[in-house]
Amino acid sequence: MKRLCLFITSITLLISCSRNEEIISLSRAFFHTLADTTYALPSDYYPYYKSLGIEAKSDMIEIDESDIRFLSDTAIVRCFNSYTTEEGVFKQDSVYLYLITNEANQYYICDSQGLATIDKDIKDYGIATGAFPKGSIKDRELASRLSTVKNMLWGEYLKINLKLYENVVIQNWSWETSYSGTANGEARIKNNLDFAVEGIKYELTYYDYSGQFMAKDDGRISKTLYPGEKYSFDFWSSNVKYPDRANLKLVFPDRLIYKILKEQSYSGNEYNEYLKSSN
């Protein structure tokens, strides 16, 4: 009986080692496809990869057998993925792969965590509105929620942008051409909002006597405009000669809009309320 127990234990260990090797081999192969798709695609190992809507990178992967654990019928693998971003920055992410077996008893990746990354502004907005829990969230669920969050954020972006255009106004402006034909002038703007606005830009468009486009020019207003405050600024455009007409408009950059979004108050129920209103 003792020999039989030892024999069964040995067989179990061999099967376990074989399965661990299979898991590591599959995980490495998946990360290899993130760098080279000549022989296989990420979706060959991770069928839901395309649904994540990402283009992950990998230059080197580190996986150790001790990084594998099992939860019921799911194998969870911790991988250290090293890569260089498009900006030339070296990064190493801790990525978890979740593997289960198919009908043929072969492992495949059914989910992940840490592979999908999101823009900080979107992440902050998602947390504030209750879309992203403060704890960990798997990539497939993250991707599903991210689509809704982007729609929410775009709607809020448009509202704030419209609010800025309606309330930060050009009160008056004038321009003329110099002896050399360049355009110069001045403008006066006012902030009718109940909060300060900074980083405002302006854009000038010049046309000839027949209304045909000639040139564009732009600039930045360095002054922070407080509620009710007025401000005058000068402009000079050297890239146009003897224009006949001109148009001036204010431009509110993304940085300003996202700053206003961050400073708004949120209850944390906005995500659920949005889902209810969408149904």
Per-residue pLDDT of the chain (279 residues), as tens digits, is: 544 343 333 333 334 557 899 999 999 999 999 999 999 999 999 999 999 988 899 999 999 888 899 999 999 999 999 999 888 899 999 999 999 999 999 999 999 999 988 888 888 899 999 998 877 789 999 999 998 999 999 999 999 999 999 999 999 999 999 999 999 999 999 999 999 999 999 999 999 999 999 999 999 998 999 999 999 999 999 999 999 999 999 999 999 999 999 888 999 999 999 999 887
The answer to whether 139 and 111 have CB atoms below 8 angstroms apart is yes
What was the pLDDT predicted at 154?
A: 93
Helix (H) or strand (E) holding 37: none
CA distances from 42 to 35, 49, 91, 112, 147 (A): 10, 7, 20, 13, 21
Domains of the chain (ranges; CATH) run 2-117 (3.10.450), 119-279 (2.60.40)
What was the pLDDT predicted at 157?
A: 94
Phi (first) and psi of residue 54, to 5 degrees: -125, 165
What was the pLDDT predicted at 120?
A: 84
What was the pLDDT predicted at 123?
A: 86
